[in-house]
Amino acid sequence: MQHLQEIALNILKNNLNVQSSETLMILTDVHKQEIAEIFHQAGLSITETTMLVVMPLLKKSGHEPVNAISSLMSQVDVTLCITSHSLTHTMARKKACENGGRVATMPGVTFAMLEQGALHADANEIEVLVESYVNLLNTAKDVHIIKDGYELTFSVENRSGIRSTGIVRNSGEYGNIPSGESYIAPIETSANGEILVDGSIANIGVLKEPLLLKLHNGRLEDAIGSDGPKLLELLGEGNGRIIAEFGIGANKSAILCGNVLEDEKVFGTIHIAFGSNVPFGGANAADVHIDCVVKNPTVYFDGKQVI
Q: What's 7's domain CATH number?
A: 3.40.1830.10
Span 79-106, average pLDDT? 96
User: Is there a domain that residue 113 lies in?
Assistant: no
Please tell me the distance from the alpha carbon of residue 10 to that of residue 115, in angstroms, as a whole number.
12
Whether the per-residue pLDDT at 235 is higher than 90: the answer is yes
Task: Report the pLDDT averaged over residues 75-88.
Answer: 97
**172, 178, 181, 187 alpha-carbon torsion, rounded to 10°:** -60
Going across the sheet that includes 174-176, the strands are 50-54, 24-28, 78-82, 102-105, 174-176
Cα–Cα dist 13/20, whole Å: 10
User: What does the pLDDT average to over 270-297?
Assistant: 97
Of the residues 78, 108, 138, the one at which a domain ends: 108
Say if residue 140 is in the same domain as residue 82. no
pTM score: 0.87
pLDDT reading at 272 higher than 90? yes
- Residue 101 and residue 178 in one domain: no
Considering the domain boundaries, does residue 88 fall inside one?
A: yes
Residues 163 and 77 in one domain: no
Q: Is residue 42 part of a domain?
A: yes
Cβ proximity of 160 and 170 under 8 Å: no
Is 12 strand, coil or helix? helix
Residues 269 and 211 both lie in one domain: yes
- Predicted pLDDT of residue 71: 98
- The answer to the question of residue 139 being in a domain is yes
Q: Is the pLDDT of residue 46 over 80?
A: yes
C-alpha separations of 274 from 123, 188, 191, 219, 286 in Å: 28, 10, 11, 9, 9
Q: What is the pLDDT of residue 123?
A: 87
Mean pLDDT (whole number) for 137-142: 98
Judge contact between 114 and 159, C-beta under 8 A.
no
> What is the rounded distance in angstroms from the CA atom of residue 171 to the CA atom of residue 75?
13
Query: Residue 59 in 3-state DSSP?
Result: coil
Residues 184, 7: Cα–Cα separation, whole Å: 30
pLDDT digits (tens, 9 = 90+) for 155-194: 999 999 999 999 999 999 999 999 999 999 999 999 999 9
Query: 74, 303 in Cβ contact below 8 A?
Result: no
- Rounded alpha-carbon distances, angstroms, from residue 201 to 25, 109, 144: 29, 15, 21
- What does the pLDDT read at residue 2? 84
Over its C-alpha atoms, the chain yields an Rg (Å, rounded) of 18
The per-residue DSSP string of 143-198 comes to EEEEETTEEEEEE-TT---EEE-S---STT-EEESS--EEEE---TT--EEEEEE-
Q: How confident is the model at residue 35 (pLDDT cuts 50, 70, 90)?
A: very high
Q: How many domains does the chain have?
A: 2
Same-domain pairing of 76 and 186: no
**Cα–Cα–Cα angle for 224, 227, 231, nearest 5°?**
90
Q: State the DSSP code for 23.
A: -
156 vs 191: CA distance, rounded Å? 10
Q: Is the pLDDT of residue 1 over 80?
A: no
Whole-angstrom distance, CA of residue 97 vs CA of residue 130? 21
Domain range for 52 is 2-108
Q: What's the rounded mean pLDDT across residues 67-83? A: 98
